[in-house]
Amino acid sequence: MYQLKFDEKRCLACPDGACLVQCQYLKYEADPARKEMVKIFRGEDSPVLQDCVTCYACEEYCKRGNHPFYLINERRENKGILTAPRAITRQWIHIGEPKGKYELGRIGKIALSFGFMPQLKEITKGRLFDDVMPSYFFGQEFFCNVVYIHFANTKVFKERLPVVIENIHKLGVEEVVFLHDECYAAFTSLAPAYGMEVPFKSVHYFEYLYNRLTALKDLIRPLNVKVVYQRPCSNRLCGDSHLFVRKIMDRIGATLVQRTYQDETALCCGSIFRAMYGYDLMADVQGRNLEDMAQSGAEYCIFNCHGCMNALSPLVAARGMTPLHLIDLCRMAIGETPEGGR
């Protein structure tokens, strides 16, 4: 069985305990933070195991190559500490179960992965994708199964992820552009953390978009709009890709306005909190986030994840901002009229 790579010595020598000190939901000073992580590593009880709300952020806060959230997850599972109601976990496990209903485009050396997000098929249209489409794959057979870490359930992805890696490998692709950053994170963070080998190159779609916009720069008409960006939890597992958001916005002439809850202090969309903890946490996080967006004077709220988009679009719209997927905004910049931009 796959074992998480976690180096206790790094925690013991950690100068800042950044994982828990920066956590937006728990309150820790550096010293207790470090100690708590060591306790957790050693399998001792810790309030963190009860109180962590699975925002994934400490995976990004730890700059010392450890995996604090994956560790919390492992220990919770061992101790039978549930994060989500059992029915919610069961439903999600069913959602990701392969059913032989996958879809393949004309697969080339490079392919787009839609994971198991049907909405992604709808937005990958136009010039931005015409050098790779229709090389794509979609379906539970290619779904990363990372979401189960919200539910302290590592068994599912340990079982399913190697099969997914094999499924993709069998397609004969050399490079995969992931449109769902949880999928990208599965192959660049989770799989390596558990010692799973990934025999293809993983590219985040932000990087792909940035390169395409560069290639198509003659078509770009600067948008001159102010935007805020809703960063999803899953992007914390692949923080390297986040840098591209600003670069893309610069390229298309959109201003990413300064606000409190962005980059490392981004707030969750609330949808997973709602399912796992009920109203109050969801309402608190959404309320602060939306107020912050509204204060910033942005015209658009740009999304990367359709889960966030589903949860926040009506609320964003009620505050006078237009909710839009990042791809749609890029398409607008090259003179296209995407569905969501109308």
Within a 13 Å sphere around the CA of 206, how many CA atoms are in the beta-carbon half? 22
Q: x/- binding map, residues 254-273, to another protein, per CB under 8 A?
A: -----------------x--
Interface with ligand SF4, residue 56, by CB under 6 A: yes
1 vs 87 by CB, closer to another protein: 87
**147, 120 Cβ separation under 8 angstroms:** no
Number of C-beta neighbours around residue 183 at 10 A: 29
Length of the chain: 342
Among 55, 173, 227, 334, binds ligand SF4 (CB under 6 A): 55
Spatial separation of the C-alpha atoms in residues 36 and 14, rounded to whole Å? 12
How many Å apart are CA 212 and CA 193, to the nearest integer? 31
And the tokens for 151?
């539910």
What one-character-per-residue DSSP string does 199-247 give? Answer: -SEEEEHHHHHHHHHHHTGGG-----EEEEEE--GGGGGGGGGGHHHHH
Q: How far is the CB of 284 from ligand SF4 (least distance, A)?
A: 14
Residue 23 lies near ligand SF4 (rule: CB under 6 A): yes
- Using CB under 6 A, which of 10, 121, 125, 226 touches ligand SF4? 10
Residue with Cβ nearer ligand SF4 (83 or 135): 83
Q: Where are the beta strands (DSSP E) in the chain?
A: 103-104, 110-113, 136-138, 175-178, 201-204, 225-230, 254-256, 300-303, 322-325
35 binds ligand SF4 (CB under 6 A): no
CA dist 332 and 6 (Å) reads 44
Nearer to ligand SF4, 15 or 100 (CB): 15
The distance of closest approach from Cβ of residue 39 to another protein in the complex, given in angstroms and rounded to an integer, is: 24
Binding mask 310-329 for another protein (x = CB under 8 A): xx------x-----------
Binding residues for another protein, rule: CB under 8 A, are: 82, 84-88, 90-91, 94-95, 97, 99, 271, 274-279, 283, 307, 310-311, 318
Residues that bind ligand SF4 (CB under 6 A): 10-11, 14, 17-19, 23, 25-26, 34, 37, 48, 52-58, 62, 64, 66, 68-69
